[in-house]
Structure 1
Amino acid sequence: MTKTILKYSGALLFIASLAIIGCTKLDDMNKDPTRPTTTEPQYLLTGAQKSAMDILYSGLQNGFIAMHYAQFWSGNARVADSQYQLDEGNNTAFWNTLYTYSLHNLDALITMNKAKAGQPGVANQNAIAQIMRAWLFQVLADTYGNIPYSQAFQNTTNIAPKYDDPKAIYNSLIDTLQAQITILDASQTSFSTGDIIYKGDVESWRRLAHSLLLRMAIRMVDANPEKAKQIIEANYQQAISNNLQGAQFQYVDAVPNRYPQNDKDRAIIDFSISTTLLDYMNSLNDPRLPIYARPSKADTVFRGLPYGWTTSDPQHKSDVFYATPGTQIYSTTMPGILMSYSEVEFILAEAAARGMNVGDAATHYTNGIKASMHYWRDLTKTAIADTTIDAYIAKVPYTAADWRNVIGTQKWLALYPQGFQAWFERTRLKFKKPGGQPLFMAPKSGVLDASVTEGVPYRLTYPIPEQTQNKANYDAAATAVGGDFKGTKLWYNKF
């Protein structure tokens, strides 16, 4: 971990915390929540939420990395990202932001509350912070593999933390989430201000903890099927059960609190919709397509750009020839999605398909599709009739013998524009189109990273500063994961 992350002096605490005097929601702010002037638990929470969502939905990280690896988008003039040449500045910023701001704010919140242990609301505040920590540490572990965890914030005694094994991290995070479910007490207060995601509602955070346990369990299901089964069967009935219960960070149309990848601040010309996404949605007459994408400016046709196609090819046309991300996807008020109801239903569909006692796979699968359709219909006020949704589902029926492809494709569609989660699921499930035909394509103009031999990176390489500033632990981690390469499979992919 870089020295800038680890040297958490009082000055850094001052910088990394958040000042929003008397705010109750994000649109009350007239300050950048990551640039504070004072420190209180509620400010630290908002700073953690906003900094995490800003980096997870930034055009530099979500756009150039995750949305490419999920093969939702392809680069226009800048094509190397689609060919798996990682921008090291973007990579380092992702790592640094999640550790220095997001996770540090949560650690500081919990530490600050130690002096107030036993006071009303403190236990709930800490439980909410711990749930957020679990979410972010899983994102980091799923992105890199071994990461600093147990020693990450021993700032006064250790500025070069070891990297922990991701299996051990998962076990710790599962234990943490289960503990917070017990600690949370709806009869007590929590955050009266500062919580943009759930406004301090304890029951909502408890549901999210149950849901995150489902996400962790299904991701490790091939590596540890018995433990995954136990977790899912124990938690599914208490998880998110409708769209209104989903976890998301609501941005507002006011600087600096707009959705980070909006085209009001500047025209975004970096990305086109990939043929992978567009052609598949077109083939199904998917009613979400006009929401996910805008047609070509040249002739108003929904036309995808072949993935990873260099502009030096004479057949490659101008960017106005290809479809671009939709109006809502580039809106200033697009929510940053943490976890949705549709994801929960697709997890349960897969769990049922694998023989777990969670209900009927086909029912959960249908619920997942409907939840996604209703979410986008309600968010955009688009007229998607229930009859249209029913006709769509009839085109993509649940097939038990082909569950991996059937569930995988629909879950992938529903995860748009959550690039990181969609990428993780692409590499985990290795799904194709229903029936077995390929869905994804190799970069049309070739791969620029020789380690990526199976069509998609399985992880990001560690930020370059780690190789010098935490060299011994970096070297150990690189060996432990099987080589610091993007083509190296994570622990749950090796099955």
Structure 2
Amino acid sequence: MNNLVKKSTALLVLVFSFFSCKDLSELNINPNGIEPDVVNPNLVLPTVLTETAKAYVNLGFQDIAGVVQHTQKDAWFSGHNDYDWGGDQSWTPYYDLLRNNDLLYQRAVALNLEYHQGVALVMKSMIFGLITDLWGDAPYTNALKGELGGADYITPKYDDQQTIYAGILADLDKAATLLSKPKASYSSIAENTDFYYSGDPAKWQRMANSLKLRYLMRISAKQPDVAKAGIEKIVANPTQYPIIDDASYDATMAYVGNNSGDSWPSNTVFDISGSNYRRIKMCSTLVKPMEATSDPRLAIWAKKVEIPLAVDATLPTGTDKIVNGVRYLSPDKVGSTAIDTDPNYVGLPPSVSQLPSGYNFNPTPGQTSYNPHVSYLNEIYTQAKGTLLKARLISAAEVHFILAEAALKGWAAGDAKTHYEAGVKASLTAWGLTSSYTAFIAQKGVAYAGTLEQIMGQKWIASWTAATEAWFDYRRTGLPALAPGPVAKRKALPLRFYYMRDELNLNKSNSGVAIEKLETTANSQSDGKNSAWSKGWLVQGTGKPW
């Protein structure tokens, strides 16, 4: 015991001697970390790009795909199918991304790295664009300044949407200018840290100008003169303002598939249960128009139904049997229940019931069921990575459809038919189907008819796995004319995310001002103003989408 006490005392003396020689500020430095004021921008860039792309897919492949009726779920479905949302829709991950991106930008400015500055401004624009598109008014001018202290920065005011969109457009202009030089003019570009364009500033410039087209069209109902002038300026000066006009310029990020964090979200490689894949079904709203036009993308995105249903009036009463891979039912077995007997693809209708796993006479309904009578996603979506498993942040298809809409409005944006057809072709090309274009564009319903409904319909299809854009387009135009199913939470599609509970509690004054500016609707009454069915500035007074 005495030896132990002596040894302990000696150890304490040694410890106190060590600390007495060290300044406390030195002890706060992580020897394995890098201080923000000396970090290399190339170490921050990969995090900004990969996490933004993953966040975008997690929106457009998950619940927003349910809103715009690309997919439905037959388990854990209430948020996806029925819009049963609440105050847990947090923008914290987006502001975390913005803080990293701001560090990227500040270090690029300090080191006079114009390429990195331009990229950071493009990403800032996209992330702030998502925040205001999803929630409405939000911290912008005073955001990301918490280290300055004071209530103005710790609990920042909310800027209105008009201010945020104006800031986004200004930042994209600045980014396009910064990225307008030949690659050899820039320094410190590390190609392997740029997961979108491998360090190509010309492609980043195209992305900046194309995002500007996106946000100009976004505000077109509220500020038509601004949108018209901005789009016409870009179209009139293609050398000065190059855009993503070919699928080879699409802003994409491939998933690498090394672990669950960098793999396609529905993969069954790391999700051994397979539930993330098994729960997702094609939605009938998407399947039916694609089948009607022999759309070749359907076979890329969906599996054929495993066991088709057939109702045969010549069968004896009580018949329910499988013959040659088809399940035959006598009419009395079906009764008045609506079923889908398509032999190829069967989509799950939107918000069809409180037990969607039971649709189409699934013999094993329930949380872990496997429904052989409804189309699942193509098996490529069980993989961790693959040629087609990419986050697609903005594409040539989207850009051409924007310009087709602008031309249809009578703006000097080129020929609407030419852009519409280029948009269809760009989407097919992105999915490896260029050779199918000639036959597809000649199909009834696809051949150009000169209507906004057709343009927005093809744009909606082309937004597969990037469905947030389809949602924002629907909100702005009411197209496609989507309708909620019988058990959806409201009798209309939602328009925004709820402001989260933490923000309402911790930034009560500023969030309260933003909420008061929302416009209630017949569908938002039971929630109060902070509702997914309240209208923000962007759609107030437009009569859209409902």
CA separation in 2, counterparts of 1:47 and 1:242? Answer: 27
In the alignment, structure 1 residue 296 sits paired with structure 2 residue 292? no
Q: 8 Å contact 1:251–1:335 — kept in the other structure?
A: yes
**Which has the larger displacement, 202-211 or 423-432?**
423-432
CA change 1:18–1:283 in 2 (3 A) is: farther
Match of 1:260 in 2: 265
Q: Which amino acid aligns with 2:347?
A: G
* SS of 1:233 mapped into structure 2: helix
CA change 1:177–1:312 in 2 (3 A) is: closer
* SS of 2:145 mapped into structure 1: coil
Match of 1:129 in 2: 120
In the alignment, structure 1 residue 366 sits paired with structure 2 residue 365? no
In the alignment, structure 1 residue 273 sits paired with structure 2 residue 282? yes
CA separation in 1, counterparts of 2:302 and 2:34? Answer: 35
- Radius of gyration: which is bigger? 2
In the alignment, structure 1 residue 343 sits paired with structure 2 residue 398? yes
Within the candidate set 244, 248, 263, 1:244 is matched to: 248
Deviations 1:171-215 (A, max 9, x none): 111111112222223222352141111112111111111101100
CA separation in 2, counterparts of 1:196 and 1:44? Answer: 12
Deviations 1:35-73 (A, max 9, x none): x9x943112111011111222223xx4444211111111
Match of 1:404 in 2: 452
CA change 1:188–1:283 in 2 (3 A) is: same
CA separation in 1, counterparts of 2:398 and 2:412? Answer: 18
Q: 8 Å contact 2:87–2:498 — kept in the other structure?
A: no
Deviations 1:458-484 (A, max 9, x none): 111112211111111111111123321
Within the candidate set 352, 356, 359, 1:309 is matched to: 352
Match of 1:224 in 2: 223
Deviations 1:264-287 (A, max 9, x none): 322122221111001111111111
Q: For the aligned residues, what is the CA RMSD? A: 2.4
In the TM superposition, what is the alpha-carbon distance from 1:311 to its structure 2 partner? 4.3
**Which has the larger displacement, 162-171 or 104-113?**
104-113
* SS of 1:492 mapped into structure 2: coil
In the TM superposition, what is the alpha-carbon distance from 1:384 to its structure 2 partner? 4.7
In the alignment, structure 1 residue 148 sits paired with structure 2 residue 190? no
TM-score normalized by the length of structure 2:
0.75
Match of 1:32 in 2: none
CA separation in 2, counterparts of 1:315 and 1:212? Answer: 40
Deviations 1:228-248 (A, max 9, x none): 011111123321121111111
Q: 1:173-252, aligned counterparts within 5 Å?
A: 173-184=168-179, 185-186=181-182, 187-189=185-187, 191-192=189-190, 193-236=192-235, 237=238, 238-252=242-256
Paired-residue identity, %: 26
Deviations 1:317-358 (A, max 9, x none): 433321122234454231111110011100010000001112
Q: 8 Å contact 2:293–2:445 — kept in the other structure?
A: yes
CA separation in 2, counterparts of 1:329 and 1:416? Answer: 13
Q: 8 Å contact 2:87–2:499 — kept in the other structure?
A: no
CA change 1:305–1:459 in 2 (3 A) is: same
Q: 1:390-401, aligned counterparts within 5 Å?
A: 390-392=441-443, 394-400=444-450
CA separation in 1, counterparts of 2:141 and 2:382? Answer: 37
Match of 2:312 in 1: none
In the alignment, structure 1 residue 171 sits paired with structure 2 residue 166? yes
Q: Which amino acid aligns with 1:262?
A: N
Q: 8 Å contact 1:69–1:423 — kept in the other structure?
A: yes
In the alignment, structure 1 residue 107 sits paired with structure 2 residue 159? no
Q: 1:322-471, aligned counterparts within 5 Å?
A: 322-333=374-385, 334-377=389-432, 384-392=435-443, 394-400=444-450, 403-432=451-480, 439-445=481-487, 447-448=488-489, 452-453=490-491, 455-471=492-508
Structure 2: tracts of 5 or more residues without a match: 1-28, 309-342, 363-370, 520-528
CA separation in 2, counterparts of 1:107 and 1:320? Answer: 49
Q: Which amino acid aligns with 1:126?
A: Q
Structure 1: tracts of 5 or more residues without a match: 1-12, 20-35, 433-438
CA separation in 1, counterparts of 2:265 and 2:44? Answer: 20
Deviations 1:420-474 (A, max 9, x none): 1121112212124xxxxxx5232222x32xxx45x21111111221111111111
CA separation in 1, counterparts of 2:158 and 2:217? Answer: 24
Within the candidate set 511, 515, 520, 1:474 is matched to: 511
Q: 8 Å contact 2:68–2:482 — kept in the other structure?
A: no
Deviations 1:127-168 (A, max 9, x none): 110111101111111111111111111112221111110111
* SS of 2:538 mapped into structure 1: helix
Q: 8 Å contact 1:251–1:257 — kept in the other structure?
A: yes
**Which has the larger displacement, 469-478 or 481-490?**
481-490
Match of 2:313 in 1: none
